[in-house]
Chains A and B, each alone.
Chain A
């Protein structure tokens, strides 16, 4: 057993070559990360996706894949779309609150100007 195998090669029970595409992004101390990604996408698909990307963008791609895979495991039906829905709902509620508060400010300004007017009278 090679103790320096990355998490992917350890999971796949194979030798970890020096140019392993997974090794920079799946360190051996975090096996769950690759397990998630492999469960949803499959090692072959992930490997193809990473090989088609420039090296400097692969880290971000791996993190986004892990995020999506985690969402899908947590919610097999909706995955990331569930989170999108939550955020859209929250945006709408916040916009409504903003509009309501702006209306209250307008009302408060009217009352303030009324008070000033009555003081002059």
Chain B
């Protein structure tokens, strides 16, 4: 059975690929080498060994013809027929993945989670659980929430830039004498650490699309209070649509996310062509550089 994590058709594959804050996940996905199994002592002593030692395709591999699955091997118990973990943690490399999952969630909790999920959705669930476990081991304080906030910050910055550009466009289209473009918005340097020295000026409730003024303090507590109510999360999900429907064409999304995407270069090429037809040099890319610098 092909490793689920290496299946390019898997939507989770593209999401985790584009996750720039989890390079270890990427290396796991692309690694074709057989890594040694991580001993239980090494795994439990620190997360670093777990992350660097894991090979590719361990999570999601099919159960072998004989022998216990990776989970039962890690737990040192008999792997019974119908073991819930067997389809997702193979005997060779699954132990390493399961070690992280067990350290963060616990085997019984994961088992209960999987039992409440339909069988055809369990592989996706296992992949996301592995991802969250890995993220939590790498960053014991924030886990994968750090990535979420980085993305939210990026969304807010991009929307501010779009608003500025649209205002500039409106000023050009109006029949007025020469008007100066509005001053550029304050740029947020990407090197600014979000979580380490100063709290980021964003709370988890400030989700797009509205470009609201950024709060001055970072407050996870208020974010949790709003997030705790099922209705608020359901409302937010409905606003953005079912994430499961977003996975169609996810490969193109991921490739476009990594770079700027084909659409951007086509439009710029068209603009340059129009300019060349008029015989004038292309304008200075003053508006492009902020977006390019901020897009990553």
**What residues make up the interface of A, taking CB atoms closer than 8 Å to B?**
32-33, 36, 39-42, 44-45, 49, 52-53, 57, 59-61, 63-68, 70-72, 74-92, 94-110, 112-114
| Interchain nearest-CB distance for B127 vs A (Å) | 8
Question: Is A77 touching B125 in the complex (CB atoms < 8 A)?
Answer: yes
- The CA-CA distance from A40 to B228 in the complex, in Å, is 14
Using Cβ atoms and an 8 Å threshold, which residues of chain A touch B11? 85
Question: Is A42 touching B220 in the complex (CB atoms < 8 A)?
Answer: no
| Interchain nearest-CB distance for A22 vs B (Å) | 15
Q: Mark B1-42, 1 if CB is under 8 A from A, else 0.
A: 000000000011001101100000000000000000000000
Using Cβ atoms and an 8 Å threshold, which residues of chain B touch A103? 267-268, 270-271
- In this complex, what residue of B is CB-closest to A49? B140
Can you offer 16 A-B residue contacts whose CB atoms are under 8 A? A32-B228, A45-B103, A45-B106, A60-B142, A61-B142, A74-B233, A76-B125, A79-B128, A80-B148, A87-B152, A87-B155, A89-B246, A95-B260, A95-B261, A98-B161, A101-B162
Using Cβ atoms and an 8 Å threshold, which residues of chain B touch A88? 15, 18, 151, 253-254, 257
- In this complex, what residue of B is CB-closest to A66? B224
* With A74-B234, A94-B159 already in contact, 20 other A-B pairs whose C-beta atoms are closer than 8 Å: A39-B109, A41-B104, A42-B105, A45-B104, A57-B141, A61-B141, A68-B132, A70-B228, A74-B237, A76-B125, A77-B125, A77-B128, A80-B128, A81-B12, A82-B237, A85-B15, A87-B208, A97-B162, A110-B274, A110-B280
Question: Is A92 touching B257 in the complex (CB atoms < 8 A)?
Answer: yes
Give the top 7 A-B pairs by smallest Cβ distance, nearest first.
A63-B220, A87-B151, A99-B264, A106-B271, A82-B243, A103-B267, A108-B172
Using Cβ atoms and an 8 Å threshold, which residues of chain B touch A100? 263, 267
Question: Is A90 touching B240 in the complex (CB atoms < 8 A)?
Answer: yes
Chain B interface main SS type: helix
Question: Is A92 touching B109 in the complex (CB atoms < 8 A)?
Answer: no
The segment from B80-88, B90-98, B163-171, B186-194 found at the interface with A is B163-171
- The CA-CA distance from A95 to B159 in the complex, in Å, is 9
Question: Is A53 touching B275 in the complex (CB atoms < 8 A)?
Answer: no
- In this complex, what residue of A is CB-closest to B110? A40
- The CA-CA distance from A44 to B151 in the complex, in Å, is 31
Question: Is B132 touching A80 in the complex (CB atoms < 8 A)?
Answer: yes
- The CA-CA distance from A40 to B18 in the complex, in Å, is 26
Using Cβ atoms and an 8 Å threshold, which residues of chain B touch A79? 128-129, 132
B124 in complex: contacting residue of A60, A68, A77, A106, CB < 8 Å:
A77
Question: Is A70 touching B148 in the complex (CB atoms < 8 A)?
Answer: no
* CB of B244 within 8 Å of the partner chain: yes
Of listed A78, A81, A85, residue having the most chain B CB within 10 A: A81
